[in-house]
Amino acid sequence: KNEVEQSPQNLTAQEGEFITINCSYSVGISALHWLQQHPGGGIVSLFMLSSGKKKHGRLIATINIQEKHSSLHITASHPRDSAVYICAVAFFNAGGTSYGKLTFGQGTILTVHP
Amino acid sequence: DVKVTQSSRYLVKRTGEKVFLECVQDMDHENMFWYRQDPGLGLRLIYFSYDVKMKEKGDIPEGYSVSREKKERFSLILESASTNQTSMYLCASSLLDSYEQYFGPGTRLTVT
């Protein structure tokens, strides 16, 4: 079964701390997304990656294809980083059209206190 | 910018009512998706569509149906709403073979 597991489910930090959220998946993938959802519902894409590492400001995403694992790091966390972070995976679909389907992790609720 | 809009942000319905949730995208995307989001379970795919009048079941289609009569519009229908369908419903769209989905703001549906 194609599964995506995120950890931790809840994370509380003090402003300035370095934060790591982990994502593991079960089988080969075509792409992995990290998404952010603020209170109120709207989901935005932070990163899409299939190998290596990407950085945007204080956010860094890495992926290890052999270990089927990805991490999202936030350096110098700030209260405005408080949100739900979601890992979403496009499982490899040999010989067929995927239609862009994604499988989602349960999400990590991050709260950063001042 | 891609824009995905949903007809309501909040909706309260009674058990047994027929409920329509509408989603509209303005970027000529082929794929459209309906998800529900519940605490601890993440986003789960209800139905998706890759073309007008085409639909495919997702992981949890029971109790739901969909309609796609125009490319930009994808409707989710709860034929007879039940309390276990109280949830956040999110619509998304993408190009045919793209994994980059664009999400609407969500509709929080409460069935009493």
Mean pLDDT per 10-residue interval, chain B, length 112 residues: 88 97 95 94 94 93 96 97 97 90 95 98
Report the alpha-carbon distance of residue B49 to residue B70 in Å, rounded: 11
Predicted confidence (pLDDT) per residue in B13-40, tens digit: 999 999 999 999 999 999 999 999 998 8
What order of strands is seen across the sheet that includes strand B73-78? B4-6, B19-25, B73-78, B64-70
Which of B1, B32, B34, B43 to probe by mutation at the A interface, max A CB count within 10 Å? B43
| Nearest-neighbour CA in chain B from A16: distance (Å) | 27
A39 interface with B at CB cutoff 8 Å: no
Average pLDDT over residues A11-30: 94
The mean pLDDT of A28-57, rounded to a whole number, is 91
Q: Which of A46-50, A69-73, A110-114 has the lowest mean pLDDT?
A: A46-50
Which residues of chain A are within 8 Å of residue B92 when distances are taken between CB atoms?
43
Q: Are the Cβ atoms of B42 and A101 closer than 8 angstroms?
A: no
Average pLDDT over residues A50-62: 95
Helices (H), B1-112: none
A42 closest CB neighbour out of B41, B99, B105: B105
Residue A50 touches partner B, C-beta closer than 8 Å: no
Mutate to test the interface with A, among B35, B99, B100 (most CBs of A within 10 A): B99
Contacting residues for A83 by C-beta, under 8 A, at least 6 apart:
A36, A37, A38, A39, A110
Q: Length of chain B, please?
A: 112
Chains A, B: CB contacts within 8 A come to: 63
Closest to B4 (Cα-Cα) out of B67, B69, B90: B90
CA distances from B87 to A106, B15, B109 (A): 15, 14, 6
Q: What is the pLDDT of residue A27?
A: 85
> Could you tell me the two tokens for B64?
């739901």
Residue keyed to tokens 């990407």: A54
State whether the Cα torsion A109-B37-B104-A40 is positive or negative.
negative
**pLDDT-derived band of residue A20, with 50, 70 and 90 as boundaries?**
very high
Cα angle: A44, vertex A46, A49; to 5 degrees: 130
pLDDT score recorded for residue B77: 98
Contact map slice: A 5-24 vs B, CB within 8 A: 9
Give the pLDDT mean for A30-55.
91
